[in-house]
Structure 1
């Protein structure tokens, strides 16, 4: 059964929780099925890999070859996550994400 439930997402911490943290300005409320939550968690796992590749280039001074590509892949992946959250988001969540002006 694919029942919609409320979840609270923190992109910064790459977490999906069933309970909100009071006074947390950086979380987004979504309505999602278990499958959609699994897909979001998978996107977060992929972000960790892209982020690690981007960070690896930071530790190599004067070696910018490929660094822009890695950072760009990481940025595009984050935008994909925000679009996914926007699609599942409550009206308030959609408004918060739209204010970030990450995509049209």
Structure 2
């Protein structure tokens, strides 16, 4: 297992994990091992899958947004993503996430 940490730049919206800061806009800087990046990538990929399920839900007019399993999974994964970034991020990333209050409003599954 590779224990060497590298710097990565994270863009939440598109789910990008970048190795150089000028490749694309990013919000958070983290230090992570390859295994931590794989775990973060799995969370981003799960949310991409959930977005597809949400598109189908959006075309079903009688299904309420707040009573929707794909939406709940997406929200849960997003909190896990922010938890990982908070754990691995620099001081600016941790401070920003703490200011959002997202980790206080949700619990991990």
RMSD: 2.2
**Residue matched to 2:94:** 94
Change (3 A) 1:23 1:70: closer
Residue 57 (structure 1) aligned with residue 57 (structure 2): yes
**Residue matched to 1:15:** 16
Q: Give, in angstroms, the shift of residue 76 of structure 1.
A: 1.2
Name segments (4+ residues, structure 1) moved above 6 Å: none
Distance across 2 between alignment mates of 1:85 and 1:55: 27
Q: Give, in angstroms, the shift of residue 34 of structure 1.
A: 1.1
> Does the CA-based 8 Å contact 1:10-1:27 persist in structure 2?
yes
Distance across 1 between alignment mates of 2:13 and 2:75: 13
**Residue matched to 2:85:** 85
Distance across 1 between alignment mates of 2:88 and 2:43: 14
Structure 2 unaligned regions, length at least 5: 105-109
Secondary structure at the counterpart of residue 103 of structure 1: helix
Q: Give, in angstroms, the shift of residue 66 of structure 1.
A: 8.4
TM-score, normalised with respect to structure 2: 0.82
Distance across 1 between alignment mates of 2:13 and 2:92: 18
Distance across 2 between alignment mates of 1:67 and 1:54: 12
Residues 24-57 of structure 1, C-alpha deviations (whole Å, 9 max, x = no match): 4x52000001111111111111111122212211
Distance across 1 between alignment mates of 2:79 and 2:65: 23
Change (3 A) 1:4 1:33: same
Structure 1 unaligned regions, length at least 5: none
